[in-house]
């Protein structure tokens, strides 16, 4: 098996159908398998898959397990020499999978690769290529200083780099993560302490620490609607998003900074969570 594709989904039946159609239009692969893990959708997703895509290996959870736990359930069953974690709100091109296999076959030092993700309006999803967070680039992003001083404050989203280039980065986003099976055997599965958000960044951190390279391929484009699942519960997702920041900082960064920097980071995350929560509540009125 060349590639095992794992898609975790939650109440995005129609987008998932388009995603699967794009996957099965793929050319140039000898063999691939597709897993869909449904996180207790109520929109008829399992029924749609059974009717339209009977070749998919479907797992149906009786509750929303989050991104990491749901993906791990399928990853344990995957048999491909490569693994693709793919969001249900993406659409790949006909040659995307074959190209990714070709690149990874040619570059055995690369453990994980991502692509340029493009929104329906044509703008790039900035999260598709990132540096690891630091207090400085976090401040720059939160205060939007990265837009004014990209080389000083734009390190997190690599704002000055060519979006169409191919180069090594610290991290790519969980919407499209193409990796070697050996990497999973080396670093382990997704960290299930993250419910949603942050687990992709954590995985990239662990992969880089094991001396594998992470590659961004701006020459390859994948459509990403983005936020189709998370918009359904914005307050909960806001909490999960900021909780992931706490977990990542405490797990990987806290020991590298003095206590007052850690207090400032944690206080900043809490403040941002509170302001964002307030804004979401006011918007609902």
pLDDT, tens only, 29-39: 778 999 999 99
Which two three-digit tokens encode residue 139? 């401040």
Residue 77 and residue 25 share a domain: yes
Residue 114 and residue 55 share a domain: yes
CB-based burial of residue 256 (10 Å sphere; 0-12 exposed, 13-18 middle, 19+ buried)? exposed
Please count the structural domains in the chain.
2
Per DSSP bridges, beta strands 82-86 and 176-180 are: antiparallel
Residue 97 and residue 60 share a domain: yes
State pTM to two decimals: 0.92
Residue 121 and residue 34 share a domain: yes
Residue 251 and residue 215 share a domain: no
Query: How many residues does this entry show for the chain?
Result: 285
pLDDT tier for residue 193 given thresholds of 50, 70 and 90: very high
Per residue in 137-167, pLDDT tens? 777 777 777 777 777 777 788 888 999 999 9
pLDDT given for residue 137 in this prediction:
77
Q: Which domain holds residue 249?
A: 235-284
Contact 190, 72 (CB under 8 A): yes
Beta bridge partners, 118, equal 124, 223
Beta bridge partners, 114, equal 216
Residue 70 and residue 191 share a domain: yes
Residue 171 to residue 205: CA distance in whole angstroms = 7
Per DSSP bridges, beta strands 110-118 and 176-180 are: antiparallel
């Amino acid at each position: 098996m060349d590639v095992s594709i794992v898609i975790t989904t939650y109440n995005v039946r129609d987008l998932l159908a388009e995603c699967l159609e794009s996957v099965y239009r793929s050319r140039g692969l000898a063999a691939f398998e597709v897993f869909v893990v449904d996180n207790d959708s109520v929109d008829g997703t399992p029924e749609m898959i059974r009717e339209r895509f009977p070749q998919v290996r479907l797992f149906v959870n009786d509750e929303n397990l989050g991104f990491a736990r749901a993906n791990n359930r399928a990853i344990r069953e995957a048999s491909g020499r490569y693994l693709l974690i793919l969001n249900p709100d993406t659409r790949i091109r006909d040659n995307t999978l074959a190209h990714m296999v070709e690149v990874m076959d040619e570059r055995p030092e690369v453990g994980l690769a991502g692509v340029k993700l493009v929104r329906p309006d044509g703008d790039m999803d900035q999260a598709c290529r990132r540096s690891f967070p630091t207090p400085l680039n976090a401040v720059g992003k939160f205060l939007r200083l990265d837009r004014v001083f990209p080389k000083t404050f734009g390190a997190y989203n690599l704002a000055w780099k060519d979006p169409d280039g191919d180069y090594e980065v610290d991290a790519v986003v969980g919407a499209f993560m193409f990796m070697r099976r050996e990497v999973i055997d080396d670093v382990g599965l997704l960290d299930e302490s993250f419910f949603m958000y942050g687990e992709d960044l954590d995985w990239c951190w662990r992969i880089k620490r094991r001396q594998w390279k992470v590659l961004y391929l701006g020459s390859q484009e994948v459509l990403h609607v983005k936020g189709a699942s998370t918009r359904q519960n914005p307050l909960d997702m806001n909490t999960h998003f900021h909780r992931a920041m706490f977990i990542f900082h405490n797990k990987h960064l806290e020991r590298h900074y003095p206590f007052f920097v850690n207090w400032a980071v944690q206080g900043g995350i809490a403040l941002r969570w509170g302001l964002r929560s307030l804004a979401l509540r006011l918007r609902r009125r």
